[in-house]
Amino acid sequence: ITNRNIEDWVAELTALASAAWNAEVFVFDDQAITLGKMVVGILLLFTGIWIAKLFTRFIGRWMLSRLGLNEGISAAVQTVVFYILLITVVLFALKLINVPLTVFTVIGGALALGIGIGSQNLMSNFMSGLILLAERPIRVGDFVQINNLSGIVSHIGARSTNITTPENIDIIVPNSSFLEDHVTNWTLNDNKIRTSILVGVTYGSNVREVTKLLKRAADTHGKVLKQPSPIVLFKNFGNDALEFELLIWVNMKRLIERLMIESDLRYQIEHLFREAGIVIAFPQRDVHLDTMRPLELKMIQELPNREANPQEIKKEEPGGLDEEHPEKRE
């Protein structure tokens, strides 16, 4: 193999690569779309998406640290900025490969038909995501409940929202569900929520003392809010107990915080009641027999085992024929 042959092969490969690079894939509006321009456009598109993601993450961290905005506003701004950059990159890539924007007027009908048939749910979730980011009925960090699911909103995306349950399980919920179903946002305006403790005491207990002890248990807990102040309600004369309800307000960022406060209060209430001699009631049932005469009770001696030896049974029986009729004894 001579140097001339190698040069010829290199020249042929270069010519083939150049021909493939400049090969026309299709022509639109008198503009030739070559393979090389398509490759450059695709590389530019993926590079632009990667840069857009890095830039939006930087914007989010900067807004949280410098401007002091909450996570919900930061996530909303990141999403809007990302899609603005994405649209810009797509338009620039199309311009680079000489695809005129009038192409969208030609394929608009087919695109609309495809969206209407195959991408209905996708577009519905996308539009719902934009509405959630604009109106902000839920935000990142909110404690929400939708149907039988409750947890903390950890991320709001263009198509779906992530909810982290108290068991630390991430559930992905389509954005359209938040607009179509009933949603309870426990922390929409603030983190202040009301919770209650139910307790029953036996009949005959000093109800004023019970009220005083329940109020003391709430007032001495450091995480129970002073305003609004705790309230004790004498709720009902129950079947088995005098029923009381303690209403308190707490700041809840996570569900486990509320549960721990309720548990602490139950420990404190049990301790205070035990010191004061107040008995916490439990279900009891009284049986009433409706009869006009006293009940007759009979004590029945257990009969011997008939499967035993008959001679042993006869020997064990008290008395016998001879004892009952001594005159027949010879």
Please give the full DSSP string across 264-286, using - where no structure is assigned.
Answer: HHHHHHHHHHHHHTPPBP-----
- Give me the pLDDT at residue 2, please: 60
Domain range for 82: 3-101
The total domain count for the chain is: 3
User: Domain end: 260, 276, 292, which one?
Assistant: 276
- Give me the pLDDT at residue 41, please: 79
Q: Report whether pLDDT(112) > 90.
A: no
Among the residue ranges 84-88, 103-107, 300-304, the one predicted with the least confidence is: 103-107
Q: Report whether pLDDT(104) > 90.
A: no
pLDDT tens by residue, 131-178:
887 777 888 888 899 988 888 898 887 788 999 988 889 999 998 899
Q: How far, in Å, are 60, 197, 241, 273 from residue 283 at the CA level?
A: 56, 18, 8, 18
254 within 8 A of 164, measured Cβ to Cβ: no
Looking at the structure, do residues 231 and 253 belong to the same domain, yes or no?
yes
Tokens of 77: 């701004």
User: Span 85-89, mean pLDDT?
Assistant: 85
Q: Is residue 293 part of a domain?
A: no
Q: Is residue 212 part of a domain?
A: yes
Q: Report whether pLDDT(252) > 70.
A: yes
Among the residue ranges 141-145, 163-167, 179-183, 294-298, the one predicted with the least confidence is: 294-298
**Regarding predicted confidence, which is higher, 217 or 131?**
217
Place of tokens 């008995």: 279
Among the residue ranges 112-126, 171-185, 290-304, the one predicted with the least confidence is: 112-126
How does residue 328 score in pLDDT terms, banded at 50, 70 and 90? very low
Looking at the structure, do residues 81 and 8 belong to the same domain, yes or no?
yes
161 closest CA partner among 135, 132, 184, 181: 132
**CB neighbour list of residue 164: distance below 8 Å, 6 or more residues apart:** 151, 152, 154, 170, 171
Helix (H) or strand (E) holding 198: strand 192-201
User: Domain end: 57, 78, 101, which one?
Assistant: 101
Q: Report whether pLDDT(323) > 50.
A: no
β-partners of residue 243 are 200, 236
- Give me the pLDDT at residue 15, please: 75
User: Span 183-204, mean pLDDT?
Assistant: 90
Looking at the structure, do residues 181 and 227 belong to the same domain, yes or no?
no
**Regarding predicted confidence, which is higher, 166 or 274?**
274
pLDDT tens by residue, 18-66:
777 777 766 666 666 677 777 887 888 888 888 888 888 887 777 666 7
- Give me the pLDDT at residue 70, please: 59
User: Domain end: 149, 167, 185, which one?
Assistant: 185
Report the CATH number at residue 268: 3.30.70.100
CA-CA distance, 134 to 152, in Å (whole number)? 20
Q: Is residue 23 part of a domain?
A: yes
Among the residue ranges 184-198, 207-221, 285-299, the one predicted with the least confidence is: 285-299
Looking at the structure, do residues 97 and 12 belong to the same domain, yes or no?
yes
Looking at the structure, do residues 79 and 158 belong to the same domain, yes or no?
no
User: Span 277-288, mean pLDDT?
Assistant: 85
Task: Among 56-60, 82-86, 157-161, 275-279, name the most confident range.
Answer: 275-279
Report the chain's mean pLDDT, rounded to a whole number.
79
